Every structure is written in structure tokens, then in C-alpha cells.
Amino acid sequence: MDFGYKKLYIDGQLVDASNGAIFDVISPSNEQKVGTIAWAAKENTQKALETAQAGFQTWSVLPLEDRLAWIDKLRTKLIENTDLLQNSVMYEMGKTWEGSEEDISSIVKSLAFYSEEIKSRYTIEIEDKEGTHQHQIVSQPLGVVVAFLAYNFPLLNLGFKLGPALAAGCSIIIKPSEFSPLSAHIIGGICEEINFPKGVITIISGDLHNVGIPLCESTIPKLITMIGSTETAQKLIEQSCRTSIKRYSMECGGNAPFIVFPDANMEVAVNVGAALKIGNSGQICVAPNRFFIHESVIEDFSNGLLKKFQNVKIGFGKENQPNMGPLANKVARENVDRLVKEALSQGGELIIGGKYYGEKGYYYEPTLIRLKDKNAPILQKEFFGPVAILIPFSTEEEVLQLANNTEAGLASYVFSADEGKLKYFSENLEFGEVQLNGVKYDIYLPHGGIKNSGIGVDCSSYALDDYLIKKRVTRTLQ
């Protein structure tokens, strides 16, 4: 399938790059072109910034009911185009059909959730202790937002930013990943079709020199938000703070521990661990990397995970109904393979997988490695792919120290039937999320990390705080 040529969406219009540059989008399923996008020049980026500022001036003062009507119009149109958007995600990412459904449902849910959530943001009265003044805290739109998106969930990531930005009254410039930009640019076309207010939503793709750095260094944006690696976040902060003080909301990489105690429900633990490593080919920031399994049950867990991996159907296409697709690009697959080789060189025992799959596409076999060295350097690195490393432990104190021994702090998982143990680990694991005996994510639940895994949160009412100014208004009583 070829989705054709997609233009930039700037100031309410679909436009070519001013220098005529284009960029081919390659499907990781077969290494064939599935579309072409306009590849912006600096001139396009500057116009995007200026028109986003103009868009903010009109959008931020639009009555809330009018803003919500426009958001609902966009949401309705996205639903009407579900098949097109879902197919674009499937082809640009190589996802399973079921996996691509999560992307479109997430952006639709985000627009609906924040349209309701913004209604509960009301003026807060603060009592004056001396009775001489009246104090109010009012929420107002922050300004222009620039959102840099990761490739792994093209529309889910977009929805996490678009929903709160639009509801809060901000304009937003969206820069999708070059590996999965088609679905975002299709949304640009939908915005033009429904005549969405100019400058409120901008979709622009391009390289670091012409787009990335100019967006960061401009004084127009008031918030830089991102989903991606810690290294990318550091670069964005460095580039953007040179010219003005900005807010940041960044969800960065993880190195999630997955802790299984002897009294855990082993079937549940195996099912959750396998699903997180097979889903989206393991390209999930919250997917576990380090499986700390108690030494008395590590054989049972290993055998259970092995059976799950053996039964994975690798492939592509709605009709074929695979369980797992390819990695998103050639570099991603090479990185996973390099890390697997590092793990084996550091004493890891390969149980299954560990190599490329098929002659075409960027597929990698589900891989299971047993590692005896609990301090191996490889445990400090994130496997963004279908790789599980099993490490035995003996005591609670030992596994807590091992789990926290990382600069990342996004998600963590604990499986046990002991309530005291669950409480202890929920209090002492140094991660923004602690999942006990299962896993749950939804738009109304906050998602964010600590340490080097990010600033702020996506999802939930808390995300709105990044897009709003809290202004204190104090009046002297006569």
C-alpha cells in the first residue's frame, strides 16, 4: 500500500516544503516505500512558529464551549477515518492490526477526556488570614507548545499531547518521528478538510538543522514536550534554554524491573511479562527489561516465558493475524542485536531467539537470556525490543537494591501474594509507576517517570497543569 504524498500542515493549509524537499517513509515490514512527506526547510519552520503564535492569540480567547465544539468536530472526523489512520500506523510501524487500533483509540479517548477535564478547572479562592484582601487563583492557557514525538506509538503519543493542549487553549506544533510520520500528516489533511482554526494545530516534519533546533531555539514556544530517549531530552533542553525560559514535559526511556516472588501467581506473571515484551515488538517505554525472578521459581518462570515466545507468530498484515511485527527501522534492529550480543559476552545464556527473522523487513526473534552476573553492565541499558533478561535473586533487600540500580525511573512491576511485601516495594521502588500483580494504563491514569526518565506526566488531569498558567489575582478590600 502507498499512502501517497503528504504535505506539511501550517496555518490551516497543506503546503510543500519551501525548498521542494521530500522524504520517503519506509515500511519496516518489507522495506518498501509506503508514502512520501514534505521535508520542511527553515522557512517553513519559522512560518510554523509565527502562525502558531497567531493561532494561540485567537484560540486562547475562544469561549470554552466553542473550543470544545471544534475538538469534538475533529474527534468525530478521526473516528470516521479510523480505517485509514489504523492502516497508516500498521504500515509505517509494521504493527499488528490489533496493535494499531490502540493508537487511534488513544487519540480519540484523549480528545474526549480532556474536553471534560478542562471543565473542572475553576477559579480557586484563598482565604486571607487578616481579612484585608481577596485572593483568587485562575488558570489560563500557557502559549505555544512544541511536541516532539517518538516513533513507537505515532497516534497515541500525538493524542497524549494534542488533547490537553487544545483543551487548555494552547496552540501546538507537532513534529512526528521521521520513522512514523504518515498518520500525523493524515491528521493534518483532516484538519484542513474541516477548516480547523488556523495556526492552532501544526504538523511539520524535517531534520534537526531545519526544524528541530529552530523550534527549540525560538522564543515563541512556552512549553517543549517530548516522548523519546533521555539523550534526546537532554539535547532539547540544552538547545531550548539558550534563548528563553520554557516549561518542559518529557517522558523518557525506562529500564523497568519485573520482580517475581515465590508466592506470586506464576501464570499471571508470565502472561503479563510476555505480553509486554511481544506487544509492539517490545518497543514500549514501560516494557520490562530486567526480570528479577526468585531463585526458587526462576526455572518455572523461564519455562513459561519460553513457551510464550515459542508460540509467537511473527509477520505482517491484517489477514495474516501475527502476534508480533518488525522493529520500527533498521537502526532499531541493529541496536537490539548489538545489545543481545553484549549480554551474551557478559555471561548471558541464550535460551531462545537472538537473531534476525526473515529475509525482508526488520524482524527480530523474541529473545530470552539467563544472566547470572547481577552487576553486568548490560543491565544498565534499555532493550527497546522483544528481549527479556532473567536474573535470579534470593532476598528482598537484594532485589530492591538491584531494581533501583539504574538511572531510569519510569515503570516497575512486582508480583507477590504478600500484602506487606507489596506495600514495602511500592514505597521503596524508585520509579514513577509501580504496578502490582498486573498492569493497567489508561488516559485517566498519570504516566510519568522520575530520575532520568522524565519531567511531568502524560495522561490524567495532572497533565493539564503543564499547559496552564496559575495566576494569582489579589484585590485589596476597602
Q: What is the pLDDT of residues 248-260, one digit of tens each?
A: 999 998 999 999 9
Q: How many CA atoms lie within 13 A of 431 on its CB side?
A: 29
pLDDT tens for 277-287 read 999 999 999 99
How far apart CA 333 and CA 293 sit, in angstroms, is: 27
Separation CA 112–CA 110 (nearest Å): 5
**CA gap 457, 467 in Å, rounded:** 11
Give the span between the Cα atoms of 143 and 171, in whole angstroms: 7
Residue 357 scores a pLDDT above 90:
yes
- Which cell numbers hold the place of 207? 531534520
Report d(CA 98, CA 101) in Å as an integer.
Answer: 5
**pLDDT of residue 38 exceeding 90:** yes
Work out the pLDDT band at 102, boundaries 50, 70, 90: very high
pLDDT band at 320 (very low <50, low <70, confident <90, very high): confident
- Which pLDDT tens digit goes with each residue over 372-414? 999 999 999 999 999 999 999 999 999 999 999 999 999 999 9
Q: Give the pLDDT score at 1.
A: 86
Identify the residue with better confidence: 319 or 64.
Answer: 64
Question: Looking at the predicted structure, is the pLDDT value of residue 471 above 90?
Answer: yes
pLDDT value, residue 373: 92
**Average pLDDT value over all residues in the chain:** 96
Q: Is the pLDDT of residue 122 over 90?
A: no
The pLDDT of 423-450, averaged and rounded, is 97
Closest alpha carbon to 221 in 52, 103, 363: 52
Quote the radius of gyration of the chain (alpha carbons, Å).
23
pLDDT of 22 above 90: yes
pLDDT bracket for residue 478 (50, 70, 90): confident
Which is it for the CA torsion 49, 218, 252, 113, positive or negative?
A: negative
Stated pTM of the model: 0.95
Mean pLDDT of 168-193: 97
Please tell me the predicted confidence (pLDDT) of residue 35. 97
Instruction: Give the model's pLDDT for residue 37.
Output: 98
What is the pLDDT, as a whole number, of residue 214?
96
For residue 457, is pLDDT > 90?
yes
C-alpha to C-alpha distance for 72 and 76, rounded to whole angstroms: 6
Mean pLDDT, residues 199-203 taken together: 98
pLDDT of amino acid 99: 92
Cα end-to-end distance, the chain, whole Å: 72
Looking at residues 230-234, what average pLDDT do you find? Answer: 91
pLDDT of residue 172: 98
